[in-house]
Structure 1
Amino acid sequence: MCRLGTISNTAVLPLERKSKVSELFIEADEDYVVMQQRKKQQLRLDYVYEGKLQDGRNRRKLTAKRVFTGYGMPWNEIKEYIQTVYDCPEITILGDGALWIQSATAYLEKSRCVTDGFHVVKYLRQIAGTEPVQPLYDALLSNNREQFCQEAEQKIQHHPYRKLRICEGQKYVLNHWEGIWDWLQNRETFASRTKGHVSHILSTRLSSRGMDWSKDGAERIARLRTLAENGGDVWRYALDCLTKKHSDTVPVPDLNSQELTRQCRRRRLPYCVYDAEHSFHMPGSEGALHGRWMKDTQNSGYHHIH
């Protein structure tokens, strides 16, 4: 893994140029991976695609998808990819409204941020608690901030012990009001699976189980999974990478079978048995009942070269 280095998000060759595509979508989210120092590091994931096609009864498939991951801001790589393949399309960025996602509009032309429906429903339910969500939802549909705040205040009056949770949800909705309104107007088009993508690419391997990682190791694993998701051949990439590094650093000598045989005979150890016909096994070493230690003892003292 260390010898491969960190794989570039552009390791797979880009698709052919598509000048007729007028709209792109980006789904962005992050996963928190535990490092060896017991601190968490944020790994970011972005899916770039053209649209969705029906794939079965309850499933839709992303068309022309491209995956990017890493610790830093991915927008420069995504911008380079879009400029290579497309002619300045309109870009809709779906996410939870984090600052790093909102910063995409400073990098990508003709882009806008839309709040992901998963997070909208999450915070509405957080405000409502065990009560119906519909009054809050109606306030959003009517684009009425005042009505929404009144509904939230009523929740606080009825359940004062939940004030912090209600205020947290209210603050999130008000801070992302425009993005939520855009999502409400085009719920079918802007339906996303950001959490599902993060679980599939990152969480399944890096954070779902009790693991801790080095910073480089986590990113390399994430980039390998991204390479496979983008349609690349992981084994071919590894072989090409290792072969190139070997040829760049160590010159491969011409192999001479006679010279190899001569060197082997010169370096024979006096206590080794090189003739298979005159080698003997320790009694009982072939059986599994005596365990592996007898074979290890045998192999440590004698080397059988056939």
Structure 2
Amino acid sequence: MQKPKKERGKRNQIVPLVTVSEGIEKVSERRNRTIRPMHFVDEEFNGKQLWESVEGYIAKAYDTEALKHTYVHGDGEKWIEKGLNAFKRTKHIIDGYHYQKELDRICKRFSKRNVRTVITTAITNDDKHKVDHFLHTLMEGAPEEDVAAAKSFGTYLLNQWVPIRNYVTLDIPGSCTEGQISHVLSERFSRNPMGWSRKGLAKLSKIRVLKLNGQKITAADSRGEQEETYREYGERMIQEYLKGCTDWSVFEREVPIYDTNAGMQRLLQAYGQNHGALN
């Protein structure tokens, strides 16, 4: 980010990104891609508003009652932990790239100990005590830097225990999380040395996801006076997908709902119970 009045130094802005997909498919031996990805950002960089937009899109694009599982992949950031908690059967998964990077880092520091196997076994068995005990044995007599690294890894494990255990134990589809960040945001905003204003970054990130989602970009997408929320955008996208489809809902049979306390229903019920006496 550019600092005011061309002040020197770094100033960063996190751009929350959510990509909704239906899993991944293999393209080649070492490359996968997401199925039907739909990207979302929020122009105010507000995580809560972003999740509301994503929830609005999913509710319109899918039958949420029929969804068997909803997985939220992330690197453990607080704003990601709050995602899609209103949906049934939602499970949070730590992104494999970030977890393996942390695990590799501690394994290299204690290369003579069987760190990977012990940690993985303890996580699989849901044994936090085993992890805590093992890390303390690693720290005994270790250099100060290694002790600090072990403490940091222990804190990371305990804070992200459920998402990490889900990643280790569940048979789940991948997410291409780092690939999405690289393709959607980093490729344009941070890979090359560029400076951005907050407003310019917000506008261009929105236009970028519109383009990647296959949406036609108009002048209204860059003018401030004609803003369109992502919830409205999600609804518009669904309408465009359904354009030209035949509506068969008129032939669907509605299930009648009876008010058992209504006067007519009580009268019919009484008649049914006493029809022998009336004869």
TM over 0.5: yes
Change beyond 3 A, Cα 1:86–1:127: same
Q: Distance in 2 between matches of 1:241 and 1:77?
A: 17
**2:52 — aligned with what?**
76
**1:177 — aligned with what?**
161
Q: Which of the two has higher C-alpha Rg?
A: 1
How far the C-alpha of 1:220 sits from its partner, in A, is: 1.6
How far the C-alpha of 1:241 sits from its partner, in A, is: 5.9
Segments of structure 2 that go 5 or more residues without pairing to the other structure are 5-9, 226-279
**1:255 — aligned with what?**
none
Summarize the alignment of residues 11-22 of structure 1 with structure 2, pairs less than 5 Å apart: none
CA offset digits 1:114-133 (Å, max 9, x no partner): 11112221222233333153
Instruction: Name the amino acid aligned to 1:100.
Output: W
Q: Distance in 2 between matches of 1:107 and 1:39?
A: 34
Instruction: Name the amino acid aligned to 1:101.
Output: I
Segments of structure 1 that go 5 or more residues without pairing to the other structure are 1-33, 246-306
* Partner secondary structure for residue 127 of structure 1: helix
1:238 aligned to 2:212? no
Of residues 105, 116, 124, the one that matches 1:141 is 124
Q: Distance in 2 between matches of 1:168 and 1:105?
A: 28
Change beyond 3 A, Cα 1:242–1:159: closer
Of residues 148, 152, 163, the one that matches 1:168 is 152
1:36 aligned to 2:3? yes
Q: Distance in 2 between matches of 1:194 and 1:179?
A: 15
The answer to whether the 8 Å contact 1:127/1:170 transfers is no
**1:297 — aligned with what?**
none
Query: Pairwise CA RMSD of aligned residues?
Result: 2.4
How far the C-alpha of 1:35 sits from its partner, in A, is: 3.8
Q: How many matched pairs?
A: 207
How far the C-alpha of 1:210 sits from its partner, in A, is: 2.1
Summarize the alignment of residues 201-216 of structure 1 with structure 2, pairs less than 5 Å apart: 201-216=184-199
Q: Distance in 2 between matches of 1:46 and 1:242?
A: 21
The answer to whether the 8 Å contact 1:75/1:104 transfers is yes
Change beyond 3 A, Cα 1:35–1:107: farther
Q: Distance in 2 between matches of 1:68 and 1:107?
A: 18
How far the C-alpha of 1:197 sits from its partner, in A, is: 1.1
* Partner secondary structure for residue 170 of structure 1: helix
**1:114 — aligned with what?**
93
Q: Distance in 2 between matches of 1:192 and 1:238?
A: 30
Q: Distance in 1 between matches of 2:175 and 2:63?
A: 24
Q: Distance in 1 between matches of 2:136 and 2:202?
A: 44
Tell me the percent identity: 23
Change beyond 3 A, Cα 1:203–1:61: closer
Change beyond 3 A, Cα 1:137–1:242: closer
Change beyond 3 A, Cα 1:106–1:54: closer
Change beyond 3 A, Cα 1:154–1:102: same
Q: Distance in 1 between matches of 2:118 and 2:95?
A: 20
**2:208 — aligned with what?**
225
Of residues 52, 58, 61, the one that matches 2:24 is 52
- Judging by fraction of residues, say which structure has more helix: 2
Change beyond 3 A, Cα 1:180–1:240: closer
Change beyond 3 A, Cα 1:109–1:217: farther
CA offset digits 1:98-154 (Å, max 9, x no partner): 110111144444422111112221222233333153322222223221221122112
Q: Distance in 1 between matches of 2:99 and 2:163?
A: 10
* Partner secondary structure for residue 55 of structure 1: strand
Q: Distance in 2 between matches of 1:115 and 1:97?
A: 6
**2:268 — aligned with what?**
none
- Judging by fraction of residues, say which structure has more strand: 1
Q: Distance in 2 between matches of 1:163 and 1:92?
A: 34
TM-score (norm 2): 0.67
Instruction: Name the amino acid aligned to 1:238.
Output: T
The answer to whether the 8 Å contact 2:120/2:168 transfers is no
**1:7 — aligned with what?**
none
Instruction: Name the amino acid aligned to 2:192.
Output: R
Q: Distance in 2 between matches of 1:190 and 1:124?
A: 21
Change beyond 3 A, Cα 1:105–1:82: closer
How far the C-alpha of 1:185 sits from its partner, in A, is: 1.8
